[in-house]
Amino acid sequence: MYKKILVLVAFLLGAVYSEAQSTVKSPFSRFGIGELQKASSGWQMALGGISSGARSPYNINFGNPASHTASIRQGFLFEFGFQDKITQLNDESNTATLNTGGLSYLALRFPFTQWWGFSAGLLPYSTVGYNIYVSDSIPGAYNYYTNYKGNGGLNKVYIDNSFKIYDRLSLGVQASYIFGATYYKSDITVLDVSSSSVYVIDNRVKANNFAFSAGMQYHDTIYNDYHFVIGASFSNKTTLGAYSSTSKTRILAVNSNEYRDTIFRDNSIKQEMELPLYYSVGVNIAKGSVLNVGFDYYMQDWSNIQLLDNTGMKPTTETGFSLGVEYMPRLGSSKYLENIRYRAGFLHKQGYVNINNNDLVTNAITFGAGFPIKFSYSLINIGVELGKRGSVTNTLLEEKYALFVVNMSFQDIWFIKRRFD
């Protein structure tokens, strides 16, 4: 059993790392450090992404390290997820449809003791994926067009430790290692009557460093089987060491001949990339195991953060909120449909980047369900997010998307002493 799980973990680690670099295609990922990924499972995503006050014995909460004291005693929980995203891009005159997907994350969780919970995993932090053509001309001289390409992103390996201070209060700390590589390429093609010139700029950036965060959750009973959870999480400001290699090449095509000339090359440019302070607060109110309602608010101020150069972008403060509702008719019922967890939510966020003096705004509705696997504590979670980001009027581009997530949450009870009569 243990060996099979270790082999599966090793396989999925390699798959997640390779897929994490290619799970997005969005022109907006050109800005900043790419498209930020607020890590969430199918459970959390279907609830709008709530995390601060969320606690579950059956699912892992990636947003608050204090939540792992909710683990089942002697329970070992292993999760991995898949996602597929269909994106429709619109500007004033064109429409394009893109599709990306793959294995998105893996994580595990188990309790060391009744008061100490542990979790570890590999998650995406940001993703870059775009291919943009821009045409222009210099009056009286020549026409040219530029092809901007980008691919890659940052990943996060984390280790969480959660401690039950007393029955109602839990504190958690997270140590993580953020790392990744991003590839940027610009092809500038100058068109002339007798020849064409292409200027190719290649830039590869590798970044990494350790980061730390903390969280808390306080839960208590309101009345009978009504109870609440108040939670908060905090991540410190982190500076990533970034190293880039850049080359500039001119390619001149005359008739059928091609001439290449390397104008510039530097393989050891040292830079810095900052990740700002992040905090979130939230509250969940539940009626037994039947109904759970949660609300989250978060903020991350990018306005004074040093980032790599991105023409046309101004970093700004990102804020957002999420609302989620989960309903399960009857836990332990002999009828399967009454054991399904039905979920819905809404999310809103704005900022991070400012384009044409307008903050980038995202609105989305979410829904999904958790399907129990019979005779076990395991679940299959599905989630759907339907959203819209940007607008043709304000940011020159509108992005509509449908994100589908499926995650497997396998849980078993370990270290039980068997007794024989």
DSSP H stretches of helix in 337-401? 392-395
Q: Which residues of the chain have pLDDT under 70?
A: 1-24, 138, 140-141, 192-196, 254-256, 306-312, 395, 415-421
Which pLDDT score, from 0 to 100, does residue 109 have?
Answer: 95
* Residue indicated by tokens 């050109």: 30
Which pLDDT score, from 0 to 100, does residue 177 have?
Answer: 97
Which pLDDT score, from 0 to 100, does residue 115 have?
Answer: 94
Contact 182, 34 (CB under 8 A): yes
Query: How many Å apart are CA 410 and CA 405, to the nearest integer?
Result: 16
pLDDT tens string 138-178: 676 677 788 889 999 999 999 999 999 988 999 999 999 99
Q: What is the pTM of this model?
A: 0.87
SS3 140: coil
Which pLDDT score, from 0 to 100, does residue 201 have?
Answer: 86
Of 390, 318, 341, 402, the C-alpha closest to 361 is 390
Tokens of 308: 């790599």
Which pLDDT score, from 0 to 100, does residue 266 have?
Answer: 80
Contact 41, 60 (CB under 8 A): yes
Identify the CATH number of the domain defined by range 2-195+210-241+278-413: 2.40.160.60
Which pLDDT score, from 0 to 100, does residue 110 have?
Answer: 94
Which pLDDT score, from 0 to 100, does residue 23 have?
Answer: 58
Amino acid letter, 10: A
SS3 308: coil
Domain map (residue ranges) of the chain: 2-195+210-241+278-413
- Angle 93-126-162 (CA atoms, 0-180°, nearest 5)? 145
Query: How many Å apart are CA 19 and CA 15, to the nearest integer?
Result: 6
Which pLDDT score, from 0 to 100, does residue 134 have?
Answer: 81
Q: CA gyration radius for the chain?
A: 24
| Percentage of residues in the chain having pLDDT higher than 90 | 53
CB neighbourhood size of 401 (10 A): 19
Which pLDDT score, from 0 to 100, does residue 144 have?
Answer: 79
